[in-house]
Every structure is written in C-alpha cells, then in structure tokens.
C-alpha cells in the first residue's frame, strides 16, 4: 500500500460494519425487551429497511446525471447524520414504536 490513507479507510470500514451489525441486533432486541411486542419489532424492521428499497431506484438515476458525485456523497452523509442524531434525541420515547 503506497498511501497511508488505505489502512485508515480499512479501519473505518471495519468499525462501521461492526457498528452496523451490533445496531441491527441491539435495537430490535432492546425494543422487544421494552415492549414485548413482535409487531413493534416488525414495524421497526420495516421502517429501517424501507429507505433501502425506495431510495436507490430514485436516486440512482439522479446520481448518474450528476457531475459532482463526491460533493453529493458528503451532502448525503451530512443529511444521514442529522437524521440519526434527531432519532437518537427522541429514542427515549420508546413507546412511540409500540402498536
């Protein structure tokens, strides 16, 4: 590896994937412990996977036409982090996920 950035990229990717795996298990498990409702876990699972089904077909066409893909990727990460912080702020209201 010629660049010092590749090990850093590898480390951040491993940390991100590990965090995503822990989150995909811990959040539904916590929700099930708090609500004892499989329907709320199913609703959470649907809500967390729905953006992966809806947005790629819509945004793929737009991204192919865009010249400044790197700038757009940073904007998408910024918006994603904003929504994640907003959700974390209201995460104590776990009753919102119960049916």
Q: What is the pLDDT of residues 11-56, one digit of tens each?
A: 888 998 998 888 888 888 998 998 888 888 888 888 888 877 887 7
The string of pLDDT tens digits covering residues 65-78 is: 777 767 777 777 77
Percent of the chain with pLDDT strictly greater than 70: 84
Please report the pLDDT score of residue 18 as a whole number: 92
CB within 8 Å of 43: residues ≥ 6 apart: 97, 99
Share the mean pLDDT of the chain: 78
| Domain layout of the chain by residue ranges | 5-94
Mean pLDDT of 92-99: 53
pLDDT value for 90: 63
CA 13/CA 4 separation, integer angstroms: 15
Looking at residue 14, what is its pLDDT?
92
Q: 15 near 74, Cβ under 8 Å?
A: no
CA nearest neighbour of 16 among 85, 70, 77 = 77
């Amino acid at each position: 590896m010629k660049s010092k950035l590749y090990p850093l990229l590898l480390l951040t990717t491993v940390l991100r994937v590990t965090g995503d795996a822990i989150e995909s298990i811990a959040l539904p498990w916590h929700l099930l412990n708090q609500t004892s409702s499989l329907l709320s876990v199913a609703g959470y699972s649907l809500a967390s996977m729905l953006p992966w089904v809806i947005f790629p077909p819509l945004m793929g066409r737009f991204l192919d036409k865009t010249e400044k893909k790197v700038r757009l990727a940073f904007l998408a990460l910024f918006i994603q982090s904003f929504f994640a912080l907003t959700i974390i702020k209201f995460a104590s209201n776990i009753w919102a996920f119960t049916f």
